[in-house]
Amino acid sequence: MLIILLGPPGAGKGTQAERIIKERQLAHIATGDILRSAVKTGTTLGRKAKHFMDQGKLVPDELVVELVKERLMDPDCVNGALLDGFPRTVNQASFLEQVLPNAGFGIDRVLSVEVDEKSLIERLTGRRVCSDCGASYHLKFKAPQVRNVCDRCGGDLFQRDDDALGTVKERLQVYKKQTEPLMDYYQEKKLIDRIDGNLDVEQVYEQIKKILDQI
């Protein structure tokens, strides 16, 4: 099974991905997480990607497609994968179609999680992430029990650099220009399902579950 989670920054892709992979035993391929980890460890990929990520721009396709190609060959992808944040351009989508046969998959569904812009800004600027385990919180919607401390591991919570208001606005513009065309691309292929992402986390997941149950 191969599922794509499509949606603007802050739509809740990562939040829903956690539930989907647990229930469906899928590998989680989140290009943002992979890139952030490369930046943290200072690899060549990370050094090249940082400049773009800090500005809220997309990392060039040629860097991202290579990492996805390799990741799809990892043993944990044998039962299928959930792509979270990839593809993000039509060019990345056509690359994916070329490499999927080698990985033994076709795309089952593309879930487009849709949220109004005001909520996206509120979600992103209020997000806090654990510096140790990566767990994600929100000052209003998912506050930790102790301020700035991770419930799961006790690590410190921080705000992602790209969640500052100015960068969030840039990311939303980039999404509109470079990623939204994918909606038509997958609509033509009759692969897309629209999810109302404005609802609470459980209600969003219910919609996703109904679709996955039909595959």
Binding site for ligand AP5 (CB under 6 A): 7, 9-15, 31-32, 35, 52-53, 56-59, 64, 85-86, 88, 92, 123-124, 127, 136, 138, 141-142, 162, 171, 200-201, 204
The residue count of the chain comes to 215
Bridge partner list, 136: 129
Tell me which residue of 9, 11, 207, 8 sits closest to 109, measured CA to CA.
207
For ligand AP5, which is the closer residue by CB, 109 or 207? Answer: 207
Bridge partner list, 194: 112
Placement of tokens 């989680």 in the chain: 28
Tell me which residue of 80, 103, 92, 86 sits closest to 20, measured CA to CA.
80
Q: CB 38 → ligand AP5: shortest distance, Å?
A: 10
Q: CB 4 → ligand AP5: shortest distance, Å?
A: 11
Q: Catalytic annotation on 13?
A: yes
For ligand AP5, which is the closer residue by CB, 80 or 205? Answer: 205
CB 5 within 8 A of CB 24: no
Catalytic residue among 13, 50, 71, 123: 13
CB 126 within 8 A of CB 207: no
Report the C-alpha gap between 51 and 59 in whole angstroms: 9
Q: CB 39 → ligand AP5: shortest distance, Å?
A: 9
- Amino acid code (one letter) for 202: E
Q: Catalytic annotation on 127?
A: yes
Q: CB 12 → ligand AP5: shortest distance, Å?
A: 3
Q: Catalytic annotation on 71?
A: no
Catalytic residue among 50, 109, 127, 128: 127
For ligand AP5, which is the closer residue by CB, 1 or 126? Answer: 126
Q: CB 78 → ligand AP5: shortest distance, Å?
A: 23
For ligand AP5, which is the closer residue by CB, 21 or 64? Answer: 64
Q: Catalytic annotation on 88?
A: yes
Nearest to ligand AP5 by Cβ — which residue?
32
Q: Catalytic annotation on 171?
A: yes
CA distances from 91 to 52, 73, 84, 94, 210 (A): 18, 20, 16, 5, 30
Strand, coil or helix: 151: coil
Q: Which residues are catalytic?
A: 13, 88, 127, 160, 171
